[in-house]
Amino acid sequence: MAAKTSITDLDAQIEKLRERRKLLVVKSAERFARAATKSGLAEMEIPDDELDRIFEEVAARFRQSEKKATAAASPQARRPANSGAGAAAEVSHDS
């Protein structure tokens, strides 16, 4: 029988996850700050709303690339029309 988790244990786990999340956010921010500094963006006077728009465009571009890559990488995820219940299993005859 599994041991019951106490509220104190759950609170401790939640706090650890919050700290882990905070660390990931900081690391991500540092990564983007390094890229902005390296490319010279950090020195430019670009309004925040313009930066937001640019980052949204970049994110959309990479999301589309991810979707295309995922679709191309897993064509076997789609089942052929004749592989429903009762269909014969494909057997390899390679020895």
* DSSP track, the chain: -PPPPPHHHHHHHHHHHHHHHHHHHHHHHHHHHHHHHHHTGGGS---HHHHHHHHHHHHHHHHHHHHHHHHHH-GGGSPPTT-STTPPPP-----
Q: How big is the CA angle at 47 (ends 46 and 53), to the nearest 5 degrees?
A: 95
Q: Residue-wise pLDDT tens for the chain (95 aa)?
A: 456 789 999 999 999 999 999 999 999 999 999 999 999 999 999 999 999 999 999 999 999 988 888 888 766 555 555 544 554 555 455 54
